[in-house]
Amino acid sequence: MELELTDLTKKFGELTAVDHISLTMTSGVYGLLGVNGAGKTTLMRMLCTLLKPTCGSITCNGKDIFKMDGGYRKLLGYLPQDFGFYPEFTVQDYLLYISSIKGIRPAAAKKRTRELLAQVGLAKAANKKMKKLSGGMKRRAGIAQAMLNNPRILILDEPTVGLDPNERIRFRNLISELSEDRLVLLSTHIVSDIEYIANEIWLMKDGALVHRGTLDETIASMPETVWKCAAEHSMVPALTKKYKVSNLKSEDGHVELRIISPKRPAPDAEPVRPALEDVFLYYFGETMDDEPDIDSPSGGPNRTLFFR
């Protein structure tokens, strides 16, 4: 299975949401990382044929996905950030209903539904109404509906939004399990969602891919150093104003800071091993000095103050 994007671009008027992206995907997990508004959802909607590109192309095994029509959609499973469901349906009825929409025969649909309910940990909730499910259970039901046709391509848009840490871990493990012999593209602005499961990480900013590579390659792409230092509480405002600070921790009357800077930010600062969270801040964060342009429709060059 191979998806190839060539000079893929999508414009909405004068706004370029996806900016001349070219790449090739095969089996494995691809993590698409960026702040809200980076163009991730627009890219994914084009990959799902829900939006047509302004220019460029997407091919699946050499064939244009928009010309493949239903043939491509049979290969595709999609979980949007907000997926629709009838609240009065039970989980089982919901999956059987989606199966009918996907053209799966009733006998096969019932068997597949039982398998998926067990796989996503919802077997005991099969007869529970969708409206009664927790946020994490709804997302698992969403994964199940995306997997009904046993897709070769699985596209997940912000799949862990609103989930607690335990649900997020369960979700990551499930995605890792489902990724065998499949192409999985997962978009998020939460670093931990992809740090341990993505074979390749894409960093997307202002519609363009600013970097792509393995976890180690992505961390190595940051040219600045990560420093660890201690400071008095009174010094913290000046440091956060001048530097990108990925972490603050109060300890015994002082504050321990994790700072990204090309130069040593304080006399006692020591270099430490960078993490993907530091890389996220380097590419997408800003210091307090980076004031947004209030006349800009996007709110300035970067709307993220500190990584969350």
Q: pLDDT tens across 200-225, in order?
A: 999 999 999 999 999 999 999 999 99
Question: Using CA of residue 44, residue 46, residue 51, residue 53, what is the dihedral sign?
Answer: positive
Helix H or strand E encompassing 254: strand 254-261
Question: Are 168 and 258 in a shared domain?
Answer: no
**What is the token pair recorded at 290?**
């980076």
At 224 the three-state DSSP class reads coil
Helix H or strand E encompassing 21: strand 15-25
**What is the token pair recorded at 189?**
């602005």
Give the tens place of pLDDT for each residue, 258-269. Answer: 999 999 999 999
- pLDDT exceeds 80 at position 134: yes
In a domain, 61, yes or no: yes
Q: What percent of the chain has pLDDT over 90?
A: 63
| CB-CB contact of 157 with 44 (8 Å) | yes
Domain count, the chain: 2
| CB-CB contact of 140 with 171 (8 Å) | yes
Give the tens place of pLDDT for each residue, 141-190. Answer: 998 999 999 999 999 988 887 778 888 888 888 888 878 789 999 998 88
Terminus-to-terminus CA distance in the chain, angstroms?
Answer: 35
Which of these, 104, 184, 180, lies nearest to 143 by C-alpha position? 184
- pLDDT exceeds 60 at position 298: no
pTM, two decimals, is 0.83
Helix H or strand E encompassing 140: helix 135-146
In a domain, 111, yes or no: yes
State the pLDDT at residue 286. 63
Q: What is the C-alpha to C-alpha distance for residues 53 and 9, in angstroms, rounded to an integer?
A: 6
Question: Are 136 and 47 in a shared domain?
Answer: yes
Question: Are 192 and 82 in a shared domain?
Answer: yes
Maximum Cα–Cα distance across the chain: 70
Q: Indicate the residue type of 47.
A: L
Which of these, 267, 255, 252, 261, lies nearest to 281 by C-alpha position? 261
Of 219, 253, 276, at which residue does a domain stop? Answer: 219
Instruction: Count the neighbouring beta carbons within 10 Å of the beta carbon of residue 84.
Output: 5
Of 219, 237, 256, at which residue does a domain stop? Answer: 219
**What is the token pair recorded at 247?**
């972490």
**What is the token pair recorded at 15?**
């706004």
In a domain, 300, yes or no: no
User: What's the rounded mean pLDDT across residues 133-145?
Assistant: 88
In a domain, 252, yes or no: yes
- pLDDT exceeds 50 at position 302: no
In a domain, 299, yes or no: no
In a domain, 289, yes or no: no
Q: What percent of the chain has pLDDT over 70?
A: 93
State the pLDDT at residue 166. 82
Question: Are 86 and 172 in a shared domain?
Answer: yes
Question: Are 51 and 101 in a shared domain?
Answer: yes
Q: What is the C-alpha to C-alpha distance for residues 47 and 64, in angstroms, rounded to an integer?
A: 11
Question: Are 46 and 72 in a shared domain?
Answer: yes
Question: Are 191 and 55 in a shared domain?
Answer: yes
Q: What is the C-alpha to C-alpha distance for residues 246 and 223, in angstroms, rounded to an integer?
A: 16
Question: Are 237 and 179 in a shared domain?
Answer: no
In a domain, 198, yes or no: yes
Which of these, 225, 222, 192, lies nearest to 210 by C-alpha position? 222
Question: Are 184 and 246 in a shared domain?
Answer: no
Q: What is the C-alpha to C-alpha distance for residues 78 and 48, in angstroms, rounded to an integer?
A: 7
Cβ neighbors of 138 (< 8 A, separation 6 or more) are 85, 130
Of 168, 189, 219, at which residue does a domain stop? Answer: 219
Question: Are 171 and 279 in a shared domain?
Answer: no
CATH number of residue 278's parent domain: 3.30.70
Question: Are 195 and 235 in a shared domain?
Answer: no
| Domain of residue 234, residue span | 222-284
Question: Are 11 and 73 in a shared domain?
Answer: yes
State the pLDDT at residue 162. 72
- For residue 108, the number of C-alpha atoms closer than 13 Å in the C-beta half-sphere is 10
In a domain, 89, yes or no: yes
Q: How many residues does the chain have?
A: 308
CATH number of residue 166's parent domain: 3.40.50.300
